[in-house]
Amino acid sequence: MAETVLSRAAQTRALPDRPNLEYLRNEAKARLKTLRVCNPTAQLSAAQKEVARDYGFASWRRLRAEVEKRIGQIGAESAGDKADRLKAEQALPRRAIPIDPTTLDQFVGFYKLAPRKVFTVDLDEDGLISRLTGQMFHSMLAESPNKFFFRNTYIKAQLSFVRDDNGVVISLVLHQGGMEQSAPRISKDEATSVERSIEARKATNEPRSGSEQALRRIIKATQLGIPESDLMSPGLTRAFEEQLPDNRRVLKSWGELQSIQFKGVSVGDDCDVYDVKFDQAETEWRLSLNDASKIETASFRIVP
């Protein structure tokens, strides 16, 4: 039986409606690493040309021109619209692709997402696994040579790995909640130092400096219905604005603030935990501050 051979035109991939030039650059760097297995002198330009041809373009220059053209046609996108678009894309069902297990070791390491949050990426018998400081490891599946999603479908997030011009992995990007957060690669010693600092704070069980003041401000901002961008991180600011009508209504029903008492440092996520009493409700609030003394995360619940 004659073997069926597909033409390159039949094998080409279509560019997405909103192509990302940085993603294509990373794809080319990954391709370079593959080319150098057979040809150690292979250059990035050769890998770029192969990627361009995969998308049906004769050269990298023409592929880049098309991407820049489409980006220009999209026009300026508001921060809110971008977040909504990313959040919708991140929640889509993912499709796993086969990947050579021997290529996974290059991703193993530590990546600093925030001053006290480090991604640990490792391998086990099932493949790539990752965890964020204070959390458990979760299995991951490849959707491209450089991008992975969580096997647990309840986790609507992905990790993509970024390379330098030599094809070495230098950082990762967390795609979650309408955001794309970069985490540079760090040494094991630096990751260990972060973990030890967290354990030391748990041992002293004292709130961070300015923590209670920040809590009082975010409660007041919610009651007044006025976001304070200088108080919160960009991600929390967006979430605060989205949830403000509902949260303001709830706090209004609780009446006036009566007291705030520090409860302790949470074991799982290094948050300061407070018991907060209102006229009509007893609640628990959790918040974390970044190095700029802005609130990075915040949440509350009614105490049963």
Q: How confident is the model at residue 6 (pLDDT cuts 50, 70, 90)?
A: very low
- Determine which of 5-9, 268-272, 280-284 has the lowest per-residue pLDDT on average: 5-9
Of residues 14 and 113, more confidently modeled: 113
- pLDDT value, residue 239: 85
**What pLDDT, in 10s, does the model give residues 65-83?**
888 887 776 556 677 778 8
**What pLDDT, in 10s, does the model give residues 46-65?**
999 999 998 889 999 889 88
Of residues 159 and 178, more confidently modeled: 159
Domains and CATH numbers, the chain: 8-76 (no CATH), 83-202 (2.40.128.50), 205-302 (3.10.450.590)
Cβ within 8 Å of residue 166, ≥6 positions away: none
- pLDDT value, residue 162: 95
- pLDDT value, residue 15: 81
Complete edge-to-edge strand list for the sheet that includes strand 282-289: 257-265, 272-278, 282-289, 295-302
**What pLDDT, in 10s, does the model give residues 117-144?**
899 999 999 999 999 988 899 999 999 9
Which residue from 98, 122, 121 is spatially nearest to 174, judged by alpha carbons? 121
Taking CA atoms, 255 is separated from 41, 244, 249, 298, 301, in Å, by 71, 17, 11, 20, 15
**What pLDDT, in 10s, does the model give residues 79-94?**
777 888 888 899 999 9
Q: Does the pLDDT value for residue 7 go beyond 60?
A: no
Quick one: tokens of 140? 């991951």
Q: Does the pLDDT value for residue 178 go beyond 90?
A: no
Q: Does the pLDDT value for residue 100 go beyond 90?
A: yes
- pLDDT value, residue 281: 96
The residues pairing with 180 across neighbouring beta strands, listed in sequence order, are 175
Q: How confident is the model at residue 9 (pLDDT cuts 50, 70, 90)?
A: very low
Q: What percent of the chain has pLDDT over 90?
A: 54
**What is the end-to-end Cα distance of the chain in Å, rounded?**
72
